[in-house]
Structure 1
Amino acid sequence: MAKKKYITQDKIIDWYMNSVLITGKPTSVFSFAKENNFEESDFYSHYSNFESLEKSIFKIFVEETIQLLHSTEAYQEYSSKDKLLSFYFTFFEFLAANRSYVLFSFKEIKSNFSKVTVLKEMRSEFINFVHSINIETLDFKNDKINKIQDNTIAEGYWLQLLMVLKFWIEDTSSNFEKTDVFIEKSIKASFDIQQIAPIKSVIDLAKFLWKEKGTSI
């Protein structure tokens, strides 16, 4: 039988996810290519090994989420909070459509924590997204401090995403309704904590007291 031609990244991902769920992880790229009737070299034109393929799968979940959001005209007018909420709801719809594979992957991570590296590219994409939605922060009039603040906030939301992901994995409610509630409450709480106006008021007061050296506290 002639080998399949025009092997795309999407096809390789689809075949790999099916192989993992139906027959288990392939033992080698050779056996995987033979099983799906394509040239082994076609695999290496897209990926260096199975680990790089696995990393790309979770990265693609984020990329497709962002692409879908940007294709919605109303999204451009959303607040930072609503953009983040939209990301979460859309992202978990993608995960739900691939839940069996996601559960398999996280079972592996749970049994061997070194496997968490499969989320490395997903993390980078998500953090870039958080930076892009311009969450309101304090301006410390210092580029280095502002950058540290931005990175800290982005890392905080990454940890939040992992927390929601763990909740979703364990969620047994119909249509993952409990996860939806958890998303709304966790995003609201995080934005409430970051409210800039009250913090600015405290800083203005501190500045005033600092200047008025004669003021007793």
Structure 2
Amino acid sequence: MPAEELIIYFISSGKIKVAEKDIIKNGIFEQGHLVAETGQYLFEQEYRKNMLPQMQNKTNIVEFNISRIHKELYDFEQMISIINNKQFTIELNECLEVYEQEKYFVAAAGLGSVLEHLLYLSIEKHTPTDFIKTHENSTASEYIAQLKKEPFNINKRDATALKGYFNYRNSVSHFNKGYFSKNMCDQILNGIKICFDRYYLHKC
């Protein structure tokens, strides 16, 4: 639609409040002039239709499954399939469920146990039985000590990284701010993915 017809439509429909007889009198710079009123109307339309929806909380617009997102982001579906351990699957899925519910203290504690379980399964998978010094109830320090030996031979940096993941678990408390606790859980989730790639899928 040509600009002239559009302006005539705005005036005749009452969308902009400018009397035809006042267009010349108000001129370009006076309050209520044609350009200002047209611009104001167009801005309000843009704000309502485009800007305002973008500023709304996305969780109010789109429903999504956090557990599914994390499974895809960290390839947990593939991890679960490869490990094929019922107990491990249950533990990880339960942790993702409480994470979704923003119960980060519970999620962090559970994810720490999932990480320990993963290390145990990795050691069991790659280490000859006679050389395994750990068991299902071993501590994080004991798992790390075992990984320093054959066939993993992790270095000091790897050991420090593992200790860091467990420290994140211990750092989450009921009194932490939500974002802080969520970030800690995300770090543990990332650690689980890294440990799966490095240790469970370890190539001797």
TM range (shorter): under 0.3
Tell me the TM-score normalised to structure 2 length. Answer: 0.26
Structure holding more helix per residue: 1
- Structure whose CA Rg is larger: 2
Tell me the TM-score normalised to structure 1 length. Answer: 0.25
